[in-house]
Amino acid sequence: MDRERRVILVTRHTRLQELVARYNTLAQARFYPEHWAPTSATTCAKTRPTAAACA
């Protein structure tokens, strides 16, 4: 059987591109993670993973 090889490329927007789409401007998209995103300490406290994962 003679089959053609095909490549399917799946792409995803970067986190910054998703934030720009959500907040409409680059300045607002950059502001969000700096001021409102949960810190890793907060995330660790909420999810209670092993201590090694939060270190």
| CA–CA gap between residue 26 and residue 53 (Å, rounded) | 31
Res 3 pLDDT > 90: no
**Residue 5: which domain range?**
1-49
The pLDDT tens digits for 17-47 are 888 899 898 888 888 777 775 655 554 555 5
pLDDT at 11: 93
Res 2 pLDDT > 80: no
Domain-embedded: residue 2: yes
Crossing angle, helix 15-23 and helix 26-35, to 10 degrees?
110
Domain total for the chain? 1
Domain-embedded: residue 22: yes
Domain-embedded: residue 18: yes
Domain-embedded: residue 15: yes
Structure tokens, 3: 């089959």
- The DSSP code for 39 is P
pLDDT at 1: 62
pLDDT at 16: 84
Domain-embedded: residue 36: yes
Domain-embedded: residue 9: yes
Domain-embedded: residue 55: no
pLDDT at 29: 83
